[in-house]
Amino acid sequence: MNFAVIGVGGYIAPRHLEAIKDLGHNVVAAFDINDSVGILDRYFPDCQFFSQFERFEVFVDSLKGTDKQVEYVSICTPNYLHASHIKFALSHGAHAICEKPLVLSEKEIDELEQYESRYGRKVFTVLQLRVHDAILALKKKVEGNPKDLFKIDLNYMTSRGNWYHESWKGDVRKSGGLSTNIGVHFFDMLTWIFGDPVDVAVSEYTPTLEKGTLKLKNAEVSWSLTVDRKLLPPAAVAAGKTTFRSITIDGEEFEFSEGFTELHRRVYQDVLGGRGYGLNAARGAIRIVENIRKMS
């Protein structure tokens, strides 16, 4: 398969490049507004790179009808650009594989459904926690021992410096805020296992910390997300760690700190094998983070 990558200079792009390379496919075109993209030499040295979107678009169109026609566009751009770049992919005859969060609002999901229908192409979202071995085991365990209501505590702390707040990530209009930027994949995981969202409440909302509660069909969740390193537990600091994640289910710690290295590769395997997650798979988590934003 031939791929194009939009946002190839970003933090997450190497995971996509590696997955595409490992699975034996090719990246024929790449775009980023920044030109620090030497990473391409490691994976696809013959890829055509563009820092002007207009030239990238013309090149992608020029490949139609050739053996290098773009069949998938991988999107690794800032969150607020996802919807427009997905529309670019579909309208240019390619399927889209988009990083989380898929979009910033449910309205955009509805619009993309119309694009899928119009152009006969599909949108796939990167929900890598759904292919994590420990989380797959948890889902199986919960389904095998159903109950009306689980009690869950979610705490996720990942240290970020001042650059974070000066970048697009610190701009709510572009990132969707802290819960959208670093929490959406956890909310997706919880809705996937414990059911659709019923209600969400926010008790604290600052640029570095968000806290609240979430009611799912089969769970009540207390959640806390932060990028403030001062809030890291002393044990994590003593161990030299900059990230701390903890999920307890009915008071029992759920461990899933390992096993993240192969997840993008698995996502791509599923997409190319016809098993990838589409637009509606992302809807529950997008609804949660959109409502958090509206309450703040």
Residue 259 pLDDT: 67
Candidates 89, 100, 93; CA nearest to 16 is 100
Cβ neighbors of 292 (< 8 A, separation 6 or more) are: 177, 179, 180, 200, 202, 205, 210, 212
Q: Report the share of the chain in percent with pLDDT over 70.
A: 99
Residue 184 pLDDT: 96
Residue 255 pLDDT: 76
Residue 261 pLDDT: 74
Residue 204 pLDDT: 95
* pLDDT < 50 regions, the chain: none
